[in-house]
Chain A
Amino acid sequence: MKNLLGREIPDYIDGYGQVKPFQGSFSNCGVKTRSAVKLTSVLPKDQKVLPSLDDLFDRLKITDGMTISFHHHLRNGDYVLNMVMEKLAARGLKGLTVAASSIFPIHAPLVKHMETGVVTGLITNYLSGPVAEAVSRGRLTKPAIMQTHGGRARAIESGDLKIDVAFLAAPTADTYGNINGVYGESACGSLGYAVADAEYANVTVAITDHLVPYPANPIEISQIYIDYVVKINSIGDPQGIVSGTTKITKDPVALIIAKRAAQLIKASGLVREGMSFQTGAGGTSLAVAAELKKIMQDEGVIGSFASGGITGYLVEMLEEGLFRSLLDVQCFDLKAVESYRDNPSHQFMSASMYGNPHTKGAVVNNLDIMILGATEIDLDFNVNVTTGSSGVIMGGSGGHSDTAAGSKLAIVVTNLMKARLPIIRDKVLTVTTPGESIDAVVTERGIAVNPRRLDLLEQLSQTQLPLMTIEELKQLAEKITGIPKPIETSEEIVAVIEYRDGTVIDVVRKVKD
């Protein structure tokens, strides 16, 4: 069958099940239910702290085929996922599904567990490094399921994704399971992506290297969700958890793109009192923040909030009074961690609050301006941030589709060509975010506005900005680079891309070597 975007997807996918095709960004909304949670009451004299991981696994009764979950706040410094999987492999478990909000190069040992059948399923929002390579080459038994940050929270809350045991890496935990991410050797700041796991898993375990007396302060995730606490030597490598500083790019091409994007935002009329803004931590995206800052200062505008993964640059904007608040699901650098800890205007948000479409309103719905990246974008404005130029998985939505759907103005900023590859294609290899939620593409050689946004096109036509159709942008690039030969893939499906509402927007097919 073909879904709304014309992507060819089977009705039924082995190892995934019946496919609900994507039918439009808000077609699957309305009345929804959250699933009930099974729990074991903890009584006054019960102890939650266990002396070691082995004691924990003796107690947990994990069996073949279960689903275990992890959050990714320790990013490429995370020790917890590998440690838990090593123990489970040693105990001879098979057929496990790992539901980790993101997978990084540090999780390379998962490849071995995939090959030995310890892990047969993977559900994640972002997949990079050796595990992504292995999935792309068909080394995982079932197709991986790629979700969005909001979509994962939705799946957990609705019961689509049932977690048997959640392992929460906790930079600080007290003896009764209250957790925060702001103190300890492995401090990472906000724990927004861990909330749904903690609340909805049948059993939730806090694994910490910083065990403090009761009660921890602050409490980000409450004791009422935590069954056990285990102290280990180290949950992560601080070098891989947060970067020291986030710098703005000096690349002149990126800077001109950023400048144009900021001019577009200004022309859209959205730079006004109470405006809200989100951007990624990538070089060009941050440069847009810097350009926007100048415009806000010139016009004397104070914004309501900036959201998302928070960088030091956004913290500076908060401290300079350019925004009243930050809504933070994840801290990208040390400055963000410190601000989140010390500044009450720098607030917490869970993944569900951030982007779950089946709530009484996610933060993305209140976003005015969203700056996004793209690996490829097609003539229908569909964006790929899942697969790279060789067809191998190198990322995933994260919050891409969530923010694109919610924001008033979703702008993709990208070089028109990257290492000879034109970014605008007839069809993207993989659709991550549907074109209906993308409003404009800004490149160094021109800006294309989605024809669905005639209002924006009209506003921009009164400026000096270099407007073109997306077809013209594509031809401009191909005149310089030549037309690339399409990537060949086999028929075998290695990953299923779920849109934030749980419908299938695309699949990733195995790469041919």
Chain B
Amino acid sequence: MKITKVAKAGTLESNDILIMVSPKDRGIIELDIESIVMQQFGEVIEQVILHKVQEMGVEGVSIKAQDRGALDYTIAARVETALNRAI
């Protein structure tokens, strides 16, 4: 899928994550994560986001994630929604 515009999903409430996506050239996946549980779960958050990007067949995207302690399914859902809004 091709990302054509800027879109976001989620909030900055506790236990949620705010995902902002914007277009990038084909083959480029940029990821910027900020999290209150970076030390404990930073790698897991990265895996969940990248897995979702791959699963949806995104060609190129820049993702900014501001995490407030969201669980994995929340992260995946927010990423999916943001990407769908950006087509």
Question: Hey, which bits of chain A sit against chain B, CB under 8 A?
Answer: 389-390, 418-421, 480-482, 484-485, 487-488
Contacts and interface: CB of A to CB of B under 8 A. Distances in A.
B39 A420 contact: no
Nearest to A487: B39
Contacts of B70: 420
A482 B44 contact: yes
B15 interface: yes
A484 B41 contact: yes
Nearest to A482: B44
A461 to B, nearest CB: 32
18 contacts: A419-B14, A419-B37, A419-B68, A420-B15, A420-B69, A420-B70, A420-B71, A421-B37, A421-B69, A480-B71, A482-B44, A482-B72, A484-B37, A484-B41, A485-B41, A485-B43, A487-B39, A488-B39
Contacts of A485: 39-41, 43
B36 interface: yes
Contact of A389 (B37, B44, B71, B72): B37
A182 B41 CA distance: 48
A275 B13 CA distance: 40
Interface of B: 14-15, 36-37, 39-41, 43-44, 68-72
Nearest to A485: B40
Contact of A482 (B15, B36, B41, B68): B41
A419 B72 contact: no
A133 B14 CA distance: 23
Given A389-B40, A487-B39, 5 more contacts: A419-B37, A419-B68, A481-B71, A485-B40, A485-B41
Contacts of B71: 420, 480-481
| Of B14, B15, B37, B72, most A-chain CB atoms within 10 Å | B37
Contacts of B40: 389, 420-421, 484-485, 487
Nearest to B15: A419
Residue of A418, A419, A480, A482 with highest tally of chain B CB at under 10 A? A419
A419 B69 contact: yes
A239 B84 CA distance: 47
Contacts of A420: 15, 37, 40-41, 69-71
Most buried by A among B36, B39, B43, B68: B39
B84 to A, nearest CB: 24
Nearest to B75: A420
Nearest to B14: A419
Those 10 A-B pairs whose CB atoms lie nearest each other, nearest first: A419-B69, A484-B40, A420-B69, A485-B40, A420-B37, A419-B14, A482-B44, A419-B36, A487-B39, A390-B39
Contacts of A418: 69
A484 B69 CA distance: 12
Contacts of A389: 36-37, 39-40
Contacts of A484: 37, 40-41
Nearest to B37: A420
B68 to A, nearest CB: 6
User: Taking each of A389, A390, A484, A485, which has the highest tally of chain B beta carbons within 10 Å of its own beta carbon?
Assistant: A485
A481 B44 CA distance: 11
B8 to A, nearest CB: 21
Contacts of B69: 418-421
Nearest to B48: A482
B2 to A, nearest CB: 32
Contacts of B41: 420, 482, 484-485
Nearest to B70: A420
A488 B38 CA distance: 13
B67 to A, nearest CB: 8
A250 to B, nearest CB: 15
A480 B36 CA distance: 17
